[in-house]
Homo-oligomer: A and B are copies of this chain.
Amino acid sequence: MGLVQDSTAWDVVDRLRAALLDGRFAHGSKLKPDTLRTSLGCSASAVREALFRLSTEGLVQFHPQRGFRVPQRDIELLHDITQVRIMIEEQGACRSIRNADVAWEARLTAAHHKLSHIESRVQRTEPTDEVFQLWVRGEQEFHQTLIGNCGSQILVDMHLAIYRRFRQQMVTSDRDFTHLPVNRDQHLEILDAALARDEDGVCRRIRAHLGRHLVRPIPEREAVPA
């Protein structure tokens, strides 16, 4: 008993992903199957297969004959990720609004309520590591619910993937909670716009919410030249 962990291959993937997203490995560090084997309680082959899978998700870099690495922190990459995330989240939110019904509004309100509760708790207490994880899950659930009514499974999956890459880039750096009050207001504004079924408003507020991670502003669409 105790530390039993006869982990199947899928638990290994999830466990590794969780470790990556919690920042338990430094950016750029090497991921050696033979080393990770012990802490994961499985063979090196299983770890290798899991890392392979994670590399296709963009959470791990793979170079043939040179093994696996945690992607470096890269301000340009974060810019790129953010821009794509804005695109997906705008589209997803708008389509969710078009399909809006009471059930979705209830789910979204509930998700925001939970998130808001955590956020106000964080402002009072010392930012524990555990509380941070709680906040991440709350934030993820809110954004996922926001686009979750869009009717497109592919869009939802893509958003989850890009959100994870976003979190991986942010880990260890966003833990200062400086921006949290602003964040809190922005989440509320997004909720209000969504409930008001104001598509343009939601898009504007999503851009405002994520915009601080952009290196340079996204150029506006210009009018057609004559």
Contact = CB atoms under 8 A, between A and B. Distances in A.
Q: How large is the interface on A (under 10, 10 to 19, 20 to 34, 35 or more residues)?
A: 20 to 34
For this chain, the copies found in one complex come to 2
Interface in A112-153: 152-153
A152 B56 contact: no
Among A56, A94, A162, A198, residue most surrounded by chain B Cβ atoms (within 10 Å): A56
A62 to B, nearest CB: 10
A87 B98 CA distance: 16
A107 interface: no
A103 interface: no
A6 B80 CA distance: 38
Contact of A224 (B87, B98, B201): B201
Interface of A: 8, 10, 49, 52-53, 56-57, 64, 80-81, 83-84, 87, 91, 94, 98, 152-155, 158, 162, 196-201, 219, 221-222, 224-225
**Top 7 A-B pairs, shortest CB-CB distance:** A56-B56, A198-B224, A84-B154, A80-B154, A80-B152, A98-B219, A87-B91
